[in-house]
């Protein structure tokens, strides 16, 4: 089973994040790697609110098909609503560990920030490759959270918060582990390339603005750090922004896999 369902307030936060400029750039990079063509059948794994699904539908056109899955019913509802103009899009609640599709069903599959949330990610990879056609492309984007540089005048407090947030996923550094996981199932990464986000301003159109809210929500919800300390951590970002001292940089990795047989 996947470890996290993006439902309720978490789902709304995730959909707000998806609309910021940094995520628009990220989507462009993922689709550049996918190189979709008219008429292809594509699987969107962990589709969230349907932002990637919406763009994929335009790439493949009405002669193609986009199947979008997410474990969260809330997210699937949002994705269906976003893609109502595209009858060749199918959105359904499903688990990556038990995909409701036949073998070799898809020309291309992509998953963005998905497999790091799956406790038995090896089985998730096997299932994705099962439904991918020979010669098909698999593109995975995950964040290497150990790459994060986030300025704070209280570095020990920042370290405590980010260490607590590491518990949000079984694999906080999934890109580093992915090549060995692929080798175990007889596959290998064709390419791994970094995709960095640099924010020197803290505002609603930046990734750091929304991820700060997400970290605060997660840490408070799990009672991992004292409430007052969490609030002080969160409030510092507005102060740093006013002083022109805000700095955030994180690196994700796009992994491209080709199924040879």
Q: List, for residues 169-225, the tens digit of each pLDDT value.
A: 889 899 999 999 999 988 888 899 999 999 999 999 999 999 999 999 999 999 999
Predicted pLDDT of residue 4: 52
Query: Residue 108: is its pLDDT beyond 60?
Result: yes
Q: What six digits make up the tokens of 5?
A: 């369902």
Determine what percent of the chain falls in helix, strand and coil, rounding each to the nearest 5.
45, 25, 30
Could you tell me which CATH class the domain 8-144+169-197+251-258 is placed in?
alpha beta
Position 165 confidence tier, pLDDT thresholds 50, 70, 90: very high
| Alpha-carbon span 225 to 231, nearest angstrom | 10
- Res. 260: pLDDT tops 90: no
What is the number of other CB atoms lying within 10 angstroms of the CB of residue 194?
11
Query: Residue written as tokens 């899009």?
Result: 89
Domain boundaries, the chain: 8-144+169-197+251-258
Contacts of 223 (CB under 8 A, 6+ apart): none
Higher-pLDDT residue of 27, 18: 27
Query: Band of the pLDDT at 1, cuts 50, 70, 90?
Result: very low
What average pLDDT does this structure show over 68-82?
Answer: 94
| 118 band by pLDDT with thresholds 50, 70 and 90 | very high
Question: What does the mean pLDDT of the chain come to?
Answer: 92
């Amino acid at each position: 089973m996947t470890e996290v369902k993006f439902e309720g307030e978490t789902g709304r936060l995730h959909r707000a994040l998806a609309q910021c400029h940094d995520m628009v750039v990220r989507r462009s990079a993922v689709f550049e790697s996918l190189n979709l063509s008219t008429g292809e059948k594509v699987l969107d794994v962990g589709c969230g609110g349907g932002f990637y699904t919406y763009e994929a539908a335009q790439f493949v056109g009405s002669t193609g098909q986009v199947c979008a899955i997410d474990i969260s019913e809330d997210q699937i509802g949002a994705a269906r609503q976003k893609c109502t103009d595209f009858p060749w899009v199918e959105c359904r609640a499903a688990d990556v560990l038990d995909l409701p599709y036949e073998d070799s069903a898809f020309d291309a599959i992509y998953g963005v920030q998905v497999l790091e949330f799956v406790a038995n990610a090896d089985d998730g990879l096997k299932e994705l490759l099962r439904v991918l056609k020979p010669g098909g492309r698999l593109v995975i984007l995950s964040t290497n959270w150990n790459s994060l540089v986030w300025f704070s005048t209280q570095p020990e407090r920042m370290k405590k918060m980010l260490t607590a947030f590491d518990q949000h996923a079984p694999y906080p550094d999934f890109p580093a582990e992915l090549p060995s996981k692929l080798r175990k199932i007889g596959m290998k990464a064709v390419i791994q390339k970094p995709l960095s986000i640099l924010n020197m301003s803290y505002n609603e159109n930046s990734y750091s603005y929304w991820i700060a809210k997400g970290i605060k929500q997660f840490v408070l919800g799990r009672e991992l750090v004292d409430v007052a300390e969490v609030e002080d951590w969160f409030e510092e970002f507005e102060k740093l922004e006013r002083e022109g001292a805000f700095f955030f940089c994180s690196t994700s990795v796009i992994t491209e896999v080709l199924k040879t047989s």
